[in-house]
């Protein structure tokens, strides 16, 4: 027997309808690419998004066509995003930090038909334009006054283009499983693979993000997603904020400490989210200028491991609660978030910090388990670590065009490539990426734990650990350090700082100092590049 409830497809256009109808006067504040901070409302954004949809149809874009954006977080990107998805096309967010060859590969692979691009990235597109096989037009996201001189053929000025359509447009209704968004994984090996979100998965994931134990956005919240819309839906915020009617503050191209502080303070931001490197810049700026964060209540940190020292600084020095989160592009992306449970109220700070340093627990609709190499499930005791597998309605079942073949096992589990522990309360802790873990004498050493510890030293700006071949132990850890400017910290200082805080056999065999650690397009340490740089390194213990 079927239920007798209404057939109301979960389409992302409904999210913006809701925001415009019930939170029409709520603001979206954007630092524009041209410089000034501008304001609009959900009602205005709704009108402009429908104009985008109508104009796209006039352009000949059809349901299922892929339309790319290479854009910062701002209102224009939001209206293009909702316009594209709302009319049934697929919004392919491009990461401008990709290498040009990767960009060409993914744009051709996705068969992008039309490209919206910020003026910032016009030179990048000019350099690859002749290699783009499917793109029929390029819309430059600015007004006539700021239109750059460009060699791109058929370049169109966004505001002129949009002026040709009014907002007399009704969103089409279609199957909620229709593709809505496309985001390629930044993959450190092989070609990037396309993760194809559906309307339904985006709506479910937005609601999951708004659950009180996840981001828990409300209409009273002022949220600043520093995490880009091109990095997996700005971690759901592009959907969750309009669903909740939260005020959105968009940082545009400026993500340095000073610019983020200006918005946090000026717009009285209450919640924000980004990768640890962004927060390093902000904390450095606050410290240098003796500033406070009186309005901010919560900061979500994920994308790579958040060192406990960062959690401690935010919470103890600035009174801002940190939620460590973990996820992946393939998971829309939220997988876990580290809110404590009621029973943890009043636990001593040290215990609280070790719990908060874990990556958190899964919200409803995300299932997680850990297994050994043979696929046997391991105990949820907080000690056993194994391959982390996930399942849920906002998690990929296959990559675009079937690249990479079958990605689910017979029971529908997706192997994240991460190694983790799970405790009886569901808190998950990432030990490492499976390929980054250091295999020493048949045992595993977590590179993340060593990095977290090393960055706790006051003179260390950044740390990375890789395994170096060792004649006796297979691999031993090499600690690679970027010193804070103006400091002269030595190998001995760092090793004695770490001594006693970890098992003796986990201690790095050597410390190398570098000026810079390479990062990939989403800000993660590029261990493949480090392994290449240090491939002939001989450890003093070898
Ligand atoms: P991406 O698809 O680019 O978002 O990358 C996903 C991967 O980033 C995960 O599989 C993890 O290896 C890593 N990652 C994300 N969040 C965290 C975190 N909080 N701690 C450690 N690793 C993380």
Q: Where is 443: in which H helix or E strand? A: strand 443-445
- What's residue 95's pLDDT? 94
- What's residue 188's pLDDT? 59
For the Cβ of 416 lying below 6 angstroms from any atom of ligand 1, the answer is yes
pLDDT tens per residue across span 196-235 = 999 999 999 999 999 999 999 999 999 999 999 999 999 9
Rounded to the nearest whole angstrom, what is the distance from the C-alpha of residue 302 to the centroid of ligand 1? 7
Atom of ligand 1 nearest to the CA of 186: 3
Atom of ligand 1 nearest to the CA of 520: 3
- What's residue 504's pLDDT? 92
For the Cβ of 276 lying below 6 angstroms from any atom of ligand 1, the answer is no
- What's residue 520's pLDDT? 86
Q: At what angle do helices 42-59 and 75-86 cross, to 10 degrees?
A: 50
CB-facing half-sphere around the CA of 429: CA atoms within 13 A: 23
Q: What is the DSSP letter of 362?
A: P
For the Cβ of 446 lying below 6 angstroms from any atom of ligand 1, the answer is no
Q: What is the pTM of this model?
A: 0.94
Q: Which of 316, 439, 501, 535 is catalytic?
A: 439
- What's residue 204's pLDDT? 98
CA-proximal residue: ligand 1, atom 5 (nearest)? 328
Please, are residues 273 and 300 in contact by the beta-carbon 8 Å criterion? yes
Helices (H) and strands (E) in the chain, counts: 17, 24
CA-proximal residue: ligand 1, atom 6 (nearest)? 328
| CB-neighbour burial class of residue 488 (10 A; exposed 0-12, middle 13-18, buried 19+) | exposed
Three-state DSSP state, 360: strand
For the Cβ of 77 lying below 6 angstroms from any atom of ligand 1, the answer is no
**Peptide bond just before 333 cis, omega within 30 deg:** yes
- Burial profile 196-215: b = 16 or more Cβ within 10 angstroms, e = fewer: bbbbbbbbbbbbbbbbeebb
Alpha-carbon Rg for the chain in angstroms? 23
Residues of the chain with pLDDT under 70: 187-189
Rounded to the nearest whole angstrom, what is the distance from the C-alpha of residue 351 to the centroid of ligand 1? 24
| CB-neighbour burial class of residue 285 (10 A; exposed 0-12, middle 13-18, buried 19+) | middle
Three-state DSSP state, 343: helix
Would you say how long the chain is, in residues? 542
Three-state DSSP state, 158: helix
Rounded to the nearest whole angstrom, what is the distance from the C-alpha of residue 487 to the centroid of ligand 1? 30
- What's residue 187's pLDDT? 62
Q: Which of 33, 41, 69, 185 is catalytic?
A: 185
CATH number of 12-254: 3.40.50.12780
Domain ranges of the chain: 12-254, 438-533
Catalytic residue list contains 161: no
pLDDT tens per residue across span 440-487 = 988 889 999 999 999 999 999 999 999 999 999 999 999 999 999 999
CA-proximal residue: ligand 1, atom 20 (nearest)? 305
For the Cβ of 359 lying below 6 angstroms from any atom of ligand 1, the answer is yes
For the Cβ of 305 lying below 6 angstroms from any atom of ligand 1, the answer is yes
Q: DSSP string of 42-89? A: HHHHHHHHHHHHHHHHHHT--TT-EEEEE--SSHHHHHHHHHHHHTT-
For the Cβ of 419 lying below 6 angstroms from any atom of ligand 1, the answer is no
Rounded to the nearest whole angstrom, what is the distance from the C-alpha of residue 327 to the centroid of ligand 1? 6
Catalytic residue list contains 541: no
Q: Which residues pair with 172 in a beta bridge?
A: none
Catalytic residue list contains 444: yes
Question: From residue 221, how far is each of 3, 78, 216, 245, 516 by CA, in Å?
Answer: 36, 18, 9, 8, 37
Catalytic residue list contains 330: yes
Fold held by 438-533 = GMP Synthetase; Chain A, domain 3 (3.30.300)
From CA 340, how far away is CA 427, in angstroms rounded?
Answer: 9
CB-facing half-sphere around the CA of 109: CA atoms within 13 A: 22
Which residues have a Cβ under 8 Å from the Cβ of 287 and sit 6 or more positions away? none
- Burial profile 150-180: b = 16 or more Cβ within 10 angstroms, e = fewer: bebeebbbbbebbeebeeebebeeeebebbb
Q: Where are the alpha helices (DSSP H) in 364-490?
A: 447-454
Please, are residues 483 and 459 in contact by the beta-carbon 8 Å criterion? yes
For the Cβ of 414 lying below 6 angstroms from any atom of ligand 1, the answer is no
Q: Do domains 12-254 and 438-533 have the same CATH topology?
A: no
For the Cβ of 113 lying below 6 angstroms from any atom of ligand 1, the answer is no
Tokens of 473: 């132990």
Torsions phi, psi for 115 (to 5 deg): -130, 130
């Amino acid at each position: 027997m079927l239920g007798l409830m209404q057939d109301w497809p979960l389409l992302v256009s409904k999210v913006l309808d809701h925001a415009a109808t019930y939170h029409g006067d709520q603001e979206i504040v954007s630092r524009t690419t041209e410089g000034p901070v501008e304001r609009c409302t959900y009602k205005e954004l709704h009108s402009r998004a429908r104009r985008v949809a109508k104009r796209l149809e006039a352009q000949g874009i059809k349901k299922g066509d892929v339309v790319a954006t290479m854009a910062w977080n701002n209102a224009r990107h939001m209206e293009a995003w909702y316009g594209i998805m709302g009319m049934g096309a697929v919004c392919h967010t491009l990461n401008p930090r990709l290498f040009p060859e990767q960009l060409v590969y993914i744009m051709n692979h996705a068969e992008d038909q039309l490209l919206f691009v910020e003026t910032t990235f016009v030179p990048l597109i000019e350099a690859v334009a002749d290699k783009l096989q499917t793109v029929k037009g390029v819309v430059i996201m600015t007004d006539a006054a700021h239109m750059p001189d460009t060699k791109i053929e058929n370049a169109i000025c966004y505001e002129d283009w949009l002026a040709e359509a009014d907002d007399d447009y009704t969103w089409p209704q279609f199957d909620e499983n229709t593709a809505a968004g496309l985001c390629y994984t930044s993959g450190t090996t092989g070609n990037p693979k396309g993760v194809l979100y559906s309307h339904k998965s985006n709506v479910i994931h937005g609601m999951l993000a708004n659950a009180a134990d996840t981001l828990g956005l409300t209409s009273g919240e002022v949220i600043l997603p520093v995490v880009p819309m091109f990095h997996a839906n700005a971690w759901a915020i592009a959907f969750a904020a309009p669903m909740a009617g939260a005020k959105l503050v968009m940082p545009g191209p400026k993500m340095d400490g000073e610019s983020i502080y200006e918005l946090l303070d000026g717009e009285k931001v209450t919640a924000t989210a980004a990768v640890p490197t962004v927060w390093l810049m902000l904390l450095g700026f606050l410290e240098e200028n003796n500033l406070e964060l009186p309005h901010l209540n919560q900061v979500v940190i994920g994308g790579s491991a958040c060192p406990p020292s960062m959690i401690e600084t935010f919470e103890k020095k600035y009174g801002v609660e940190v939620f460590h989160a973990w996820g992946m592009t393939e998971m829309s992306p939220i997988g876990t978030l580290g809110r404590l449970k009621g029973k943890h109220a009043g636990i001593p700070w040290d215990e609280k910090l070790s719990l908060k340093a874990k990556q958190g627990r899964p919200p409803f609709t995300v299932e997680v388990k850990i297994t050994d190499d043979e696929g046997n499930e391991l105990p949820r005791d907080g000690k056993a670590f194994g391959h982390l597998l996930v399942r849920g309605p906002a998690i990929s079942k296959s990559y675009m065009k079937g690249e990479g073949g079958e990605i689910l096992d017979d029971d529908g589990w997706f192997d994240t490539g991460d190694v983790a522990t799970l405790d009886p309360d569901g808190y998950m802790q990432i030990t490492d990426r499976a390929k980054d873990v250091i295999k020493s004498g048949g045992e595993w050493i977590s590179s993340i734990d060593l990095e977290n510890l090393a960055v706790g030293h006051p003179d260390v700006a950044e740390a990375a650990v890789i395994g170096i071949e060792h004649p006796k132990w297979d691999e031993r850890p090499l600690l690679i350090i970027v010193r804070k400017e103006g400091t002269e910290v030595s190998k001995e200082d760092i090793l004695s700082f770490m001594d006693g805080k970890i098992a003796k056999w986990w201690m790095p065999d050597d410390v190398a100092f570098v000026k810079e650690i390479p990062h990939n397009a989403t800000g993660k340490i590029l261990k493949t590049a480090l392994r290449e740089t240090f491939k002939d390194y001989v450890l003093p213990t070898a």
